[in-house]
A and B are shown apart, each in its own frame.
Chain A
Amino acid sequence: MKKYVPMTETAFYILLALSEPRHGYGIIKHVENISGGRIVLGSGTVYGTLTKMQKDGIIVVFADEHRKKVYEVTETGRVLLTEETKRIAELHRNAERYWGGETE
Chain B
Amino acid sequence: MKKFRPYWSYDIQKTESWLGEMAEKGWHFTGLKRKRRVFTFEKGEPAKKTYQIGYEKIRPHRLPKTLAKDGWKIKVSTGRWSVLEHGNAEQTPASSVVRDPIVRRNRIHYYGYLAFLIYIIFSTANFLFLTHIVLDAGGEVTREPSPFWAITYTGWALGAAFIVSSVYAIFKIKKTNALLLNNSGSGAVSLSEQNEKKRIRSGDLKAQFKFGWFYKPDKTEQWLENQEASGWHLYRVNRLGNRFYFSKGKPRQVSFKADYQNLSKETYEDMHNDAGWEKVYASRSAMMKWTIWRKEYGLAEQKPELFSDLTEQAGAVRKMALTYTAMFLPMVLMYFFFGLQNILWIDQAHWTQVFQITTFALAAIVFSGLLITVWRSYYRMRRKVNRANV
Residues of chain A whose beta carbon lies under 8 Å from any beta carbon of chain B: 10, 21, 23-25, 28, 39-48, 54-55, 57, 60-65, 67-70, 72, 74
Per the bound structure, the CA–CA distance linking A67 and B268 in Å amounts to 13
CB <8 Å contact, A23 and B274: yes
* A54 partner residues in chain B, CB cutoff 8 A: 58
B182 — nearest CB in chain A belongs to which residue? A67
Which B residues lie within 8 Å of A40 (CB)?
A: 302, 304, 308
Whether the pair A62, B64 counts as a contact (CB closer than 8 A) is: yes
Cβ–Cβ contact B312 & A67, under 8 A: no
Choose from A21, A39, A69 the contact partner of B270 (Cβ within 8 Å). A69
Q: How far is the CA of A7 from the CA of B362 in the complex (A)?
A: 51
- Binary contact readout B256-268 vs A (1 if CB under 8 angstroms, 0 otherwise): 0101000001011
Q: With A and B bound together, what is the CA distance between A72 and B268 in angstroms?
A: 17
Chain B interface mostly = loop
Chain A contact residues: helix, strand, loop or mixed: mixed
| B94-102, B113-121, B154-162, B335-343 - interface stretch | B94-102
**Contact status B312-A44, CB under 8 Å:** yes
Contact A45 B95 (CB under 8 A): no
A21 to B265 CA separation, bound complex (whole angstroms): 22
CB nearest neighbor in B for A66? B94
Given known pairs A42-B304, A55-B57, the reply for A65 and B309 (CB within 8 Å) is no
Complex alpha-carbon distance, A61 and B62, angstroms: 10
> Does B204 interact with chain A (Cβ within 8 Å)?
no
Residues from chain A with a CB closer than 8 A to the CB of B95 are 62-65, 70
- The interface of chain B, by Cβ under 8 A from chain A, is 57-58, 62-67, 94-99, 182, 257, 259, 265, 267-268, 270-272, 274-275, 277, 302, 304-309, 312
Report the Cα distance A63→B99, complex, angstroms: 8
Cβ 8 A contact of B96, one of A43, A48, A63:
A63
Q: Which residues of A contact B267 (CB under 8 A)?
A: 69
The answer on a CB contact under 8 Å between B272 and A62 is: no
In Å, the complex CA distance between A23 and B307 comes to 18
Residue of B nearest to A59 (CB): B64
Alpha-carbon distance A25/B182, docked complex (angstroms): 21
Q: Which residues of A have CB within 8 Å of B96?
A: 62-63, 67
Interface centre among B57, B65, B99 (most CB of A within 10 A): B65
A68's closest neighbor in chain B, by CB?
B270
Query: Taking A40-B308, A54-B58, A60-B64 as contacts, is the C-beta distance between A47 and B271 under 8 angstroms?
Result: yes
A24 and B97 contact, CB distance less than 8 A: no
Partner of B307, one of A25, A44, A64: A44
Report whether A42 and B271 are in contact in the complex, using a CB–CB cutoff of 8 Å: no
The residue on A at minimum CB distance from B94 is A65
Identify which of B63, B64, B302, B305 gathers the most chain A CB atoms within 10 Å of its CB. Answer: B64
Tell me whether B306 and A43 are in contact (CB under 8 A): yes
Closest to A27 in B: B271
Is A44 within 8 A of B306, CB to CB? yes
Q: With a 10 A CB-CB cut-off, give which of B265, B271, B274 has the most chain A CB atoms.
A: B271
Q: Are B98 and A61 in contact (CB under 8 A)?
A: yes
| CB <8 Å contact, B67 and A24 | no
Decide: A63 and B97 in contact? CB cutoff 8 A: yes
CA distance A72 to B68 in the complex (A): 12
A residues less than 8 Å from B67 (CB atoms): 62
> Given the complex of chains A and B, what is the CA–CA distance between A74 and B309 in angstroms?
26
Q: Once bound together, how far apart are the Cα atoms of A41 and B271, in whole Å?
A: 12
CA of A57 to CA of B61, assembled, Å: 9
Q: Are A42 and B62 in contact (CB under 8 A)?
A: no
Cα distance, A69 to B270, chains bound together (Å): 9
Question: In the complex the two chains form, is B98's CB within 8 Å of A69's CB?
Answer: yes
Cα-based distance from A55 to B62 in the complex (angstroms): 12
A21: B residues at CB distance < 8 A: 64, 66
Tell me which of A42, A63, A72, A74 contacts B308 (CB under 8 A). A42
